[in-house]
């Protein structure tokens, strides 16, 4: 099956063909660590975690780079308010980022590039742009001159710069008054009193926002690479600016082959963001939602689709995730993982799962197939005559729910959860067995009202009873 991905620049799904056969190079714009990571950061990180995992599942050798914008106006503002060094602010929030992403089962990138570690490359790139007449020096820094490359206008948005200014999130036009044209953007900002700075040919200062990612992506992935990703809110102005910078610096078209953008998290119909005051940190969310339940919730929609974040969505995700985890734990207690590839049912499921993921990483289709496997596995566990199929089903879940979707905890946590589930069953086992005996006596005496009353009582305790020729069987509802 051919992998098709949606390319923002062409505004269509395209067959994926890597620049180098068997390899995939990915750069994703990371966070500006001026505060603790929020749910929007989780959506982006999980989206590209899944994309990376699927490429590896398909056999590609993936090089995945992301970054920290560890010097920025907002970081400086927080540092001044707290009377600390700006690096203390950024390092504290980078530490928080790794902590919450580990809990969300987001695999570590191959490299986390930092702006403060890329200053020489940024200065070199700006120098080239000046030499090629794409940038100019002003009283307050260096600016890229948009009109030197009119053919690159609006390649991602499909619109003119002025038409999409309202979607820039307030980050256009904040670079000072030295611009020749309001559309130009800063490459280097001359230092203000009390701000951190680095020496450069144009005076002490620091990089502009957009040039940073151009320099970091080219440093780590070379003059052309396969995928550049980020949230939809970065399309304009950030990624549009990167196209100007990178392609003009290198005199090369299509430095990036495919542009991928994940959808936003919405609250009451508005994008979640700190500026709107409707954001929630990931750590705060963990107070009421287990990390892998949150991962489930954020994956239960294709990565490009916006997500409406609300309590109902979390409760539904909790229910489905509990069913997945508890069924997997029961299967693990019965058997080790087995080879699923000889199982006809699991092969048909895998084809549908693969077809969905190959259609622009459609995790919604993948989740439907996981749920169908869980339902079938529950039936197998309940029917003791079918135990020989359980290893294959467990093996399938290990590979697809675990390795691909990242929904299963680490082994130590799984063992702890299995013990907890086993204890829960043992704690009520004697009482359930006694009620089942009473129910059997009532049925033999044709006292159906009393038998039904006992069954209702068992159901109220999340005990599901199924009558069979061998007698009643019971299980705890997931």
H or E stretch covering 89: helix 86-103
Same domain, 228 and 188: yes
**411-420: average pLDDT:** 62
Backbone dihedral region for residue 269 (phi beyond 0: left; psi -120 to 50: alpha; all else: beta)? left
**111 bridge partner residues:** 65
The DSSP code for 226 is E
**474 bridge partner residues:** 465
Same domain, 333 and 238: no
Tell me if 188 sits within 8 A of 71, measured CB to CB: no
CA distance 227 to 282: 27
Q: What is the pLDDT of residue 174?
A: 46
Same domain, 319 and 417: no
Q: What is the pLDDT of residue 283?
A: 96
Domain's final residue, options 379, 409, 439: 409
Q: What is the pLDDT of residue 471?
A: 63
Q: What is the CATH number of the domain that holds 61?
A: 3.40.50.620
Domain that holds residue 422: 413-476
Same domain, 236 and 385: no
Q: What is the mean pLDDT of the chain?
A: 88
Q: Residue 468 — very low, low, confident or very high, per pLDDT cuts 50/70/90?
A: low
**131-143: average pLDDT:** 96
Q: What is the pLDDT of residue 200?
A: 98
Nearest to 31 by CA among 122, 80, 98: 98
Domain annotation covers residue 252: yes
Nearest to 101 by CA among 52, 37, 55, 53: 37
Tell me if 62 sits within 8 A of 56, measured CB to CB: yes
CA distance 326 to 339: 21
State yes or no: pLDDT of 392 exceeds 70. yes
Q: What is the pLDDT of residue 14?
A: 98
**111-119: average pLDDT:** 98
Domain annotation covers residue 303: no
Domain annotation covers residue 304: no
CA distance 337 to 67: 37
Domain annotation covers residue 317: yes
Helix residue ranges, H only, 335-445 = 344-357, 363-382, 390-397, 411-444
Q: Is 149 exposed, middle or buried (0-12, 13-18, 19+ CB in 10 A)?
A: middle
Sign of CA dihedral 294, 299, 301, 304: positive
Same domain, 367 and 391: yes
Q: What is the pLDDT of residue 401?
A: 97
Domain's final residue, options 236, 266, 283: 283
CA distance 10 to 158: 9
CA distance 456 to 450: 10
Structure tokens at 336: 């080790």
Same domain, 102 and 70: yes
Same domain, 235 and 337: no
**185 bridge partner residues:** 144
* Least reliable range by pLDDT among 120-129, 188-197, 244-253, 406-415: 406-415
Same domain, 181 and 316: no
Q: Is 407 helix (H, G, I), strand (E, B) or coil?
A: coil
Same domain, 135 and 268: yes
Domain's final residue, options 409, 430, 451: 409
Domain annotation covers residue 295: no
CA distance 116 to 33: 13
Domain annotation covers residue 157: yes
Q: What is the pLDDT of residue 173?
A: 46
Task: Express each pLDDT in 149-174 by its tens digit.
Answer: 988 989 999 876 566 444 444 444 44
* Least reliable range by pLDDT among 124-128, 191-195, 387-391: 387-391
Q: What is the CATH number of the domain that holds 368?
A: 1.20.120
Same domain, 329 and 461: no
State yes or no: pLDDT of 259 exceeds 50. yes
Domain annotation covers residue 261: yes
State yes or no: pLDDT of 99 exceeds 80. yes
- State how many domains the chain has: 3
> Could you tell me which residues come within 8 angstroms of residue 477 by beta carbon, excluding any fewer than 6 positions away?
462, 463, 464
* Least reliable range by pLDDT among 334-338, 349-353, 411-415, 454-458: 411-415
Q: Is 15 exposed, middle or buried (0-12, 13-18, 19+ CB in 10 A)?
A: exposed
Same domain, 361 and 227: no
**111-122: average pLDDT:** 98
**28 bridge partner residues:** 66, 229
Same domain, 315 and 225: no
CA distance 206 to 73: 10
What CA–CA distances, in Å, run from 106 to 42, 369, 408? 9, 22, 12
Q: What is the pLDDT of residue 306?
A: 95
State yes or no: pLDDT of 386 exceeds 80. no
Count how many residues are written for the chain: 478
State yes or no: pLDDT of 268 exceeds 80. no
Task: Express each pLDDT in 180-221 by its tens digit.
Answer: 888 899 999 999 998 999 999 999 999 999 999 999 999 999
**380-408: average pLDDT:** 89
State yes or no: pLDDT of 90 exceeds 90. yes
Domain annotation covers residue 306: no
State yes or no: pLDDT of 326 exceeds 70. yes
**441-467: average pLDDT:** 71
């Amino acid at each position: 099956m051919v992998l098709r991905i949606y390319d923002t620049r062409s505004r269509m799904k395209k067959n994926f063909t890597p620049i180098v056969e068997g390899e995939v190079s990915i750069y994703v714009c990371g966070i500006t660590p001026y505060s603790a990571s929020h749910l929007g950061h989780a959506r982006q990180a999980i989206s590209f975690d899944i994309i990376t995992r699927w490429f590896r599942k398909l056999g590609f050798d993936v090089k995945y780079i992301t970054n920290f914008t560890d010097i920025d106006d907002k970081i400086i503002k927080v540092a001044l308010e707290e009377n600390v060094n700006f690096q203390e602010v950024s390092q504290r929030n980078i530490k928080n980022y790794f902590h919450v992403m580990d809990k969300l089962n987001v695999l570590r990138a191959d490299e986390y590039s930092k702006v403060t570690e890329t200053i020489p490359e940024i200065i070199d790139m700006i120098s080239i742009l000046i030499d090629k007449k794409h940038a100019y020096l002003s009283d307050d820094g260096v600016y890229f001159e948009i009109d030197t490359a009119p053919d690159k206008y609006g390649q991602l948005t499909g619109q003119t710069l002025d038409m999409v200014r309202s979607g820039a999130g307030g980050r256009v036009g904040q670079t000072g008054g030295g611009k020749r044209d309001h559309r130009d953007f800063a490459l280097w900002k001359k230092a203000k009193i009390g701000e951190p700075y680095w020496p450069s040919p144009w005076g002490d200062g620091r990089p502009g926002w957009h040039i940073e990612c151009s320099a970091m992506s080219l440093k780590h992935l070379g003059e052309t690479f396969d995928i550049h990703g980020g949230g939809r809110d970065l399309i304009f102005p950030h990624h549009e600016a990167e196209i100007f910078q990178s392609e003009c610096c290198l005199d090369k078209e299509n430095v990036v082959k495919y542009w991928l953008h994940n959808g936003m998290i919405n609250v009451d119909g508005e994008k979640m963001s700190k500026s709107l005051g409707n954001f929630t940190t990931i750590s705060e969310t963990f107070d009421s939602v287990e990390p892998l339940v949150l991962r489930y919730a954020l994956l239960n929609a294709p990565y490009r689709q916006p997500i409406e974040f609300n309590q109902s969505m979390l409760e539904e995700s909790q229910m489905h995730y509990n069913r997945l985890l508890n069924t997997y734990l029961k299967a693990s207690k019965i058997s080790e993982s087995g080879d699923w590839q000889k199982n006809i049912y699991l092969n048909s499921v895998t084809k549908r799962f693969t077809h969905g993921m190959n259609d622009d990483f459609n995790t919604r289709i993948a989740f439907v197939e996981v749920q169908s496997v869980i339902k079938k596995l529950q039936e197998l566990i309940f029917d003791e005559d079918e135990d020989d199929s359980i290893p294959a089903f467990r093996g399938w879940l290990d590979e697809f729910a675990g390795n691909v979707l990242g929904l299963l905890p680490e082994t130590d946590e799984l063992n702890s959860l299995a013990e907890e589930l086993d204890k829960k069953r043992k704690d009520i086992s004697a009482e359930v067995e006694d009620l089942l005996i009473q129910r059997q006596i009532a049925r033999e005496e044709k006292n159906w009202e009393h038998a039904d009353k006992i069954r209702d009582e068992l159901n109220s305790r999340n005990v599901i009873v199924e009558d069979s020729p061998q007698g009643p069987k019971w299980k705890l509802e997931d």
